[in-house]
Amino acid sequence: MTRKHVFGALAVAAVALGASGAMAQEKIKVGFLPGVVDPFYQVMELGVNKAAADLGVEVVTQVPPTWGVEVQTPILDALIARGDLDYIITAPTDKDQMVGPLQAAVDAGIKVITVDTFLGDGDYADGPVTFPISYIGSDNVEGGRIAAHGLAEAIGGKGKVYINSTNPNVSSVEGRAVGFQEEIKEDHPDIEVVGLDFNLDDPNTATTQTAAVLQRVPDLAGVFGTNVFSAQGAGTAVVNAGLGGQVQVVAYDATQFAIEQLNAGTVSMVLAQKPFDMGYLAVTFAVADAAGVTSLPKRVETGFAIIDKDNVTDPEVARFIYQVPN
């Protein structure tokens, strides 16, 4: 009797162990490597973690302290070297330079999903780079177009506008500037883009540059800041020139800081992306791929919300403000 009981207990334990062993094998492990520490990627991380909890995925997150290939690559290499990751969800900091390092991940048997920024031209079906499973992010060209449309409305469909951007050859901000220029050219013949400057992620420089443009073009009607630092610098220059409310400033990215600038009148319109969606979807894509799903779309666009002074308190809009609970 006693022996039988012991046997039975052992059998149950063995089955349980076996089951948990099987589960451990099925449980996939995902590396999350965003572009830089900032609120946008922090919200994306919330999406990643939520999906991971919902779907039983283990996530390893590493956030580069600064934006750049030279900072992101060693972290990526370390993630690959761990040897236990099945997927890497990442925002490449350069669409060309990160191709090699991420190819190395694929060569090590890790599948890649890019979020927010893409490799090559972002067309993973027919473009120059096809190894990532999918690109999940904003259509930044479309975002640039929406920003242009919003700015055009704000300035009454005519006048001169200026673009202040951060760095060249980053797919996200580059796309925004391209889309902005296309939209102006095609649909707003009375608006002229008078310049595009790169501030190299320094709001001091963005301020100086915008102040100089205000000198060169005294009748400037609007500024498009391709990210919050650009918009911050541009807005500071505009307000200091006594042109707050007259020269419209559109900011990309709905950080709380951008909303603060909106409320202070430095910025007139904020374009919100949906980083939470990007993070959540990327993890579900990894799980689906691991489960054998073969028809995952190569490109998913998560869309935008436009925030201005009138709708900023509307909960339907306010939920797109990038908020990280402490």
Partner 1 sequence: MADSDTRLAERYGGDASAAKTPGRHFILTLSRLWAWAFLALLIAFFVVSISLTTGGSVSFLTLRNSQNILVAITPVLLLGLGQTFVIIAAGIDLSVGWVMSLASVLSALAIRGTFNAGAPLFVAAIAGFLAAVGGAAVVGLFNGVIIAKLKVPAFIVTLGSGFIVRGVSLLLSENTTVIGLPPGIRDYGNNALLYYLHGEGGGFFFVDRPQLAGEALRRLDPILPWPVVITAIVVAIAVFVLRKTQFGRHTYAIGGNMEAARRTGINVDRHIIMLYILSAGTAGIAGFLSTLRFTAGSAVIGDALLLQSIAAVIIGGVSLFGGAGNVIGTVIGALIIAVLTTGLVMLNVEAFWQFIVVGSVVIIAVLIDQSRDLIIGRGRSG
What does the binding site for partner 1 look like in residue numbers (CB under 8 A)?
A: 36-39, 42, 65-66, 194-195, 197-198, 200-205, 207-209, 211-213, 215-218, 232, 236, 239-244, 246, 255-257, 260, 264, 324
Minimum distance from residue 260 beta carbon to partner 1 (Å): 6
**H helix or E strand, kind and range, residue 188:** none
Minimum distance from residue 25 beta carbon to partner 1 (Å): 37
Q: Which is nearer to partner 1, 108 or 217 (CB)?
A: 217
> Residue 137 and residue 41: Cα distance in Å, rounded?
12
Q: Which residue in 143, 146, 149, 196 sits closest to 168, CA to CA? A: 196
Minimum distance from residue 32 beta carbon to partner 1 (Å): 16
Asked if 244 and 12 touch (Cβ cutoff 8 Å), the reply is no
Q: Which is nearer to partner 1, 135 or 180 (CB)?
A: 180
Asked if 88 and 113 touch (Cβ cutoff 8 Å), the reply is yes
Q: Which is nearer to partner 1, 117 or 165 (CB)?
A: 165
Tokens of 219: 């009748």
Q: What are phi and psi of 32, to 5 degrees?
A: -120, 115
Q: Which is nearer to partner 1, 293 or 309 (CB)?
A: 309
Q: Which is nearer to partner 1, 72 or 284 (CB)?
A: 72
Minimum distance from residue 160 beta carbon to partner 1 (Å): 12
Count of helices and strands (H, E) across the chain = 11, 12
Minimum distance from residue 237 beta carbon to partner 1 (Å): 8
> Residue 103 and residue 59: Cα distance in Å, rounded?
21
